[in-house]
Structure 1
């Protein structure tokens, strides 16, 4: 999958690209079927909502689930990012975010790179998210909201919100959000919210400001996020456990394009259990040759 000149121009201008229905129902079926069992596990890698038992985020499923290990190597998700960066990428984070019906809580306004810089000492913003919808996403079940062009602002000072939700986040001041929305078009496009069928994909810049509201609808909104980082831009600190931020900076090797419908062999090193090392953290700066 290659990006067209028009797509490259749009990404530079808006900070994101949306591909409705890029993956077929057959391709997403196995992924969807695997989610309930993963969410049922009482493991550290399942972060639950603050006031309910619903899973907010499942981390690192590609390390112990065959279907998601294949998705983590899918060329439709990996190749566009390599094209934009001009180099190979590694998996910084792998998340299955569960914005569950009636229970899915908010994600405050933030930049992903703000967290990656402050917590992980990632040197620059040469990393980005690629998201795939596992459920249909509509205006009512907590879709992502973007401020188009806000990535042009660069890295923004943020505060560490430890109280709003169950997951700490480096969030952006409401006054600045208001200014950026007005600059992007206010009520005429200052906030956009891509919606579409399961299998749709979004690629977005690590400095693009985004958020999502709570899900008060009767429909789940589960999405998978590959956070891909240029190999030369690997993190320099292990403040967070390995199941949240990975420490293997080996470039991803893609599987064939039909890997979601054929059982290609994949390595799932945590399939028999997460190692104790995946919970260890350190504030020491690291130096890794890649």
Structure 2
């Protein structure tokens, strides 16, 4: 039997704002992992936690080398897990990096990464999705404002807001080369979007998302209430953010490329069901249904 849909979307003629009352942003305690009570309180209030430097210089150099290899790996030519920009054919995203790369598979098991995910979610975790997001200089396209949870709920069947994402900078993230923006506190409001999900929507949405994007009036309301925080920092810096944070990023017309490693952790107590607003689930590399604990 399908679980109760607490966050209906893509079924009404008008957008709706649904206030989050059932799912906390933080499920664990300070004793459960590396984050302090102050960090957890901030994450609960704002929906995100920043880390000035997550990796050591040697670890960062190795990770950057692995990213470069994945972006130019001839073995991935034509692989559906590699998404390219519409206008330049440059790589936009490489998905499933924790399965493609033994290096990243090992790295994300570190207590500084998987341990924080377990602490925030208050349970064992697994990887729902992993990818490298790359914005080349002179043409990296924007990522429109959206809540990841809206898509994961509608198209993957994620029932509850018990997932957290890590965005780890592989290059310098400036305010001018398409760095991440989040509306602090927006994770407490779910924007129910209008419009049905097209068949195989992921084939176009990974390049430019249209279905599941919030309306301008809802975005204006959230921005007026919460403001916008832009995340800049050195390579190796990171931000953890809640699955329902309203976020996006501008395009990159500068000469300076921007790339980030993006890992989504879901609680094993929040396993996927049938999609709530799509005919069938997206492919495994976008929404994993392999719910084994990440040891």
Q: TM-score band, normalised by the shorter chain?
A: 0.7 to 0.9
Question: Unaligned regions of 5+ residues in structure 2, if any?
Answer: 1-32, 275-279
- CA distance in 1: counterparts of 2:172 and 2:131, whole angstroms: 18
**1:2-35, Cα deviation, whole Å (9 max, x unpaired):** 1111111111111001111221221111121122
Given that 1:114 and 1:158 are in contact with CA atoms closer than 8 Å, whether structure 2 keeps it comes out as: no
Given that 1:155 and 1:207 are in contact with CA atoms closer than 8 Å, whether structure 2 keeps it comes out as: no
Q: Secondary structure at the match of 1:175?
A: helix
Given that 1:101 and 1:220 are in contact with CA atoms closer than 8 Å, whether structure 2 keeps it comes out as: yes
How far is the alpha carbon of 1:53 from its aligned partner?
1.4
Q: Secondary structure at the match of 2:259?
A: strand
The residue correspondences of 1:12-91 to structure 2 (distance < 5 A) are 12-40=44-72, 41-42=76-77, 43-91=79-127
How far is the alpha carbon of 1:106 from its aligned partner?
0.7
Q: Secondary structure at the match of 2:181?
A: strand
TM-score between both structures, scaled by the size of structure 1: 0.81
User: Which position in structure 1 is the counterpart of 2:220?
Assistant: 178
Residues 164, 179 of structure 1: CA spacing in aligned structure 2 closer, same or farther, 3 A cutoff?
same
Given that 1:47 and 1:58 are in contact with CA atoms closer than 8 Å, whether structure 2 keeps it comes out as: yes
**1:74-93, Cα deviation, whole Å (9 max, x unpaired):** 22111122112211111100
Q: Secondary structure at the match of 2:244?
A: coil
Mean alpha-carbon deviation: is it higher for 64-73 or for 172-181? 64-73
**1:120-139, Cα deviation, whole Å (9 max, x unpaired):** 11111111111110001010
CA RMSD of aligned residues (A): 1.8
**1:178-230, Cα deviation, whole Å (9 max, x unpaired):** 1111111xxxxx10011110111110000110000001111111001111000
User: Which position in structure 2 is the counterpart of 1:241?
Assistant: 283
Mean alpha-carbon deviation: is it higher for 18-27 or for 89-98? 18-27
Which of 176, 191, 194 lines up with 2:228 in the alignment?
Answer: 191
**1:133-190, Cα deviation, whole Å (9 max, x unpaired):** 0001010110000001001113533556967872445211111111111111xxxxx1
Aligned residues: 248
